C-alpha cells in the first residue's frame, strides 16, 4: 500500500490558528528563523495568554455554578439546643454534584503550629485555573470531655466548612418551615444569646452569670461574646457538642 503523507497547507493552518494569537506569532517567528531570545519572549507571552483564558473560563463556570447552587439547609438536629445546623458533610452532599458538573475539583491543605491551625481550600477548574480561600484559627479549647485530637478535629472541620462556603459562594440558612415540618418543629430559643447559653449548658459549662458565659465562650471558641460573633459562636459550639456526642 502506498504511504500517504498528510500535508497541512498554510491556508489550512490559518483557519486553525488565530493570526493575532501568541501561538500564531510563535509559528511565524519559527518560520522566519527568529533567535532563541525572541522565541522565549513569545513563549512567555503564550503562557500568560493561556493563563488569562483559563481564568476567564473559571469565572464563567463559577458564575454558572453560583446561579444553580442551592442555599444549603440546616437539616441536622443539635440535641443541646433543639436547633438545626448544617455540618460540613451536608454542605458537601448538597453541592458536590453541581461543583463537578461545572468543571471544578476542590481540596484542602492544613498546616498547624503549636496553638493555631490554617486551612486552605483550593478550587481547580478543568481548564487549569486555581483559586484559594484560607482561614486561620487558634485551636479550640473545647470542653473537659474533649481530647487534644478532638479539639484539633473540631477546629479543622470548622475551618473547612467556612473556606469551602467562601470559595464557592455557598449560603447556609434555616430550612423553610412547611407542612411537612410543622408536626416536628422544635421550639427554638428566642434569641442567639439564648442559643449560646443552651449550647454552653449542654457542654457542661457554667452559665450562671454574664461573666461566666463570656469566659466559657472565650475558652471554647477563642471568640468574644459580642453580637458580631454570635453566628460563628453558635456554629463552633454546635460543632463542639456534635463531636462530643459522637465520642460519648
Amino acid 180: pLDDT: 34
**Position 5 in a domain:** no
Mark whether 27 and 136 lie in a shared domain. Answer: no
Amino acid 164: pLDDT: 94
Kindly state the percentage of the chain with pLDDT values over 90: 21
Task: Summarize pLDDT for 210-243 with one digit per residue, the tens.
Answer: 888 889 888 888 888 888 888 778 878 877 777 6
Q: Which domain holds residue 43?
A: 10-67
Q: Tell me how far apart the alpha carbons of residues 65 and 106 are, in angstroms, rounded to a whole number.
A: 14
Which range has the worst mean pLDDT, 127-136, 159-168, 202-211?
A: 202-211
Mark whether 242 and 191 lie in a shared domain. Answer: yes
Given 67, 82, 107, the domain boundary residue is 67
Amino acid 228: pLDDT: 81
Neighbours of 48 (CB within 10 A): 11
Mark whether 74 and 52 lie in a shared domain. Answer: no
Among 155, 157, 164, CA closest to 137: 155
Mark whether 183 and 156 lie in a shared domain. Answer: yes
Amino acid 160: pLDDT: 93
**Position 84 in a domain:** yes
Mark whether 134 and 163 lie in a shared domain. Answer: yes
Amino acid 108: pLDDT: 96
For residue 78, what is its C-alpha cell? 443539635
Amino acid 49: pLDDT: 76
Mark whether 172 and 192 lie in a shared domain. Answer: yes
**Position 154 in a domain:** yes
8 confidence band (pLDDT: 50, 70, 90): very low
73 confidence band (pLDDT: 50, 70, 90): confident
- The stretch 167-191 carries a mean pLDDT of 56
End-to-end CA distance of the chain: 77
Burial class (CB in 10 A: 0-12, 13-18, 19+), 185: exposed
Question: How many distinct structural domains can be found in the chain?
Answer: 2
Amino acid 144: pLDDT: 66
pTM listed for this prediction = 0.58
Task: Summarize pLDDT for 116-152 with one digit per residue, the tens.
Answer: 899 999 999 999 999 999 999 888 776 666 778 888 8
Amino acid at each position: 500500500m502506498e504511504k500517504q503523507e498528510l500535508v497541512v497547507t498554510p491556508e489550512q493552518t490559518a483557519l486553525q490558528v488565530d493570526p493575532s494569537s501568541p501561538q500564531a506569532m510563535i509559528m511565524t517567528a519559527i518560520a522566519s528563523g527568529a533567535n532563541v531570545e525572541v522565541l522565549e519572549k513569545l513563549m512567555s507571552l503564550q503562557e500568560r495568554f493561556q493563563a488569562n483564558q483559563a481564568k476567564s473560563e473559571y469565572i464563567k463556570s463559577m458564575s454558572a455554578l453560583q446561579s444553580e447552587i442551592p442555599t444549603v439547609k440546616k437539616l441536622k438536629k443539635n440535641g443541646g439546643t433543639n436547633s438545626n445546623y448544617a455540618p460540613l458533610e451536608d454542605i458537601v452532599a448538597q453541592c458536590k454534584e453541581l461543583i463537578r458538573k461545572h468543571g471544578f475539583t476542590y481540596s484542602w491543605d492544613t498546616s498547624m503550629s503549636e496553638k493555631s491551625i490554617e486551612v486552605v481550600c483550593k478550587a481547580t477548574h478543568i481548564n487549569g485555573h486555581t483559586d484559594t480561600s484560607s482561614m486561620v484559627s487558634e485551636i479550640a479549647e473545647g470542653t473537659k470531655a474533649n481530647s487534644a485530637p478532638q479539639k484539633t478535629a473540631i477546629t479543622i472541620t470548622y475551618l473547612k466548612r467556612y473556606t469551602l462556603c467562601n470559595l464557592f459562594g455557598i449560603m447556609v440558612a434555616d430550612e423553610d418551615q412547611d407542612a411537612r415540618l410543622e408536626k416536628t418543629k422544635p421550639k427554638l430559643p428566642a434569641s442567639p444569646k439564648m442559643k449560646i447559653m443552651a449550647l454552653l449548658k449542654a457542654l457542661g459549662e457554667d452559665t450562671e452569670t454574664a461573666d461566666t458565659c463570656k469566659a466559657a465562650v472565650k475558652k471554647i471558641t477563642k471568640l468574644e461574646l459580642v453580637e458580631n460573633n454570635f453566628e460563628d459562636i453558635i456554629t463552633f459550639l454546635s460543632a463542639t457538642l456534635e463531636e462530643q456526642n459522637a465520642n460519648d
